[in-house]
Amino acid sequence: MKLRISEKIAHCEVLGPNKRSVIWVSGCEKHCPGCIAKTYHSSQNGTEEEVADVVRWFLETGDNHLTISGGEPFLQADALNDMLIQIKKVKDIGVIVYTGYKIEELNHPLLNQIDIVIDGEYIETLNDDRPYIGSSNQRLICLTHRYDNVMDYYQSEGRQITITALKDKTILVGVPSRQQYLMWQTMKGWGREDTD
């Protein structure tokens, strides 16, 4: 089984509690105005990778937590479910997934692998600078108690981003505040390549 992935990074500290790996899958049909991940909307963006290779990559990072975003993870739910089953055969990990669907619209075993879902389309006019969440219509839904002890602390930190240099580009990581995104846009004006 294969996954189409736009980016993946290790040791991220701005997309959930604890150091975590992040996978941005390719493909989204929602096209929310103001989405900062436009480059990932195409199902042809990025590269196709064998699930087994992605599992190997994650295990080699040494991280115990994973955030999956995109793009729309549930468009590749079978492959992601397979990936998480394989990872969890080796170690128990915490998983956060961002989806543009409301959780009530989802009915896939992938949900059983997830600790927190952040659901719903991004609505630009409802961007209220809450940490982790793009707009106030979206919900942070705990499906397990794994992160109960740390969520208050991380929610008190406000929105945080990092600007990460990869081999061939620089990307913005995290859910930016309006001011942070403006800063990123200004940096793009200086000639930096980005992913949105």
**Cα–Cα–Cα angle for 72, 73, 78, nearest 5°?**
135
d(CA 196, CA 192): 12
Least distance in angstroms from the C-beta of 192 to ligand SF4: 21
Least distance in angstroms from the C-beta of 64 to ligand SF4: 26
- Residue ranges in contact with ligand SF4 by CB under 6 A: 28, 30-32, 35, 37, 70-72, 100, 121-122
Give me 23's structure tokens.
């996978």
Task: Give whichever of 113 and 195 is closer to ligand SF4, judged by the CB atom.
Answer: 195
Task: Give whichever of 58 and 74 is closer to ligand SF4, judged by the CB atom.
Answer: 74
Least distance in angstroms from the C-beta of 75 to ligand SF4: 10
Task: Give whichever of 32 and 79 is closer to ligand SF4, judged by the CB atom.
Answer: 32
Residue nearest to ligand SF4 (CB): 100
Task: Give whichever of 49 and 72 is closer to ligand SF4, judged by the CB atom.
Answer: 72
CA distances from 160 to 47, 57, 59, 99 (A): 28, 25, 26, 20
What does 144-181 look like in DSSP terms, one character per residue? SSTTTTTHHHHHTT----EEEE-SS-EEEES---HHHH
With H, G, I as helix, E, B as strand and everything else as coil, classify residue 70. coil
Least distance in angstroms from the C-beta of 101 to ligand SF4: 8
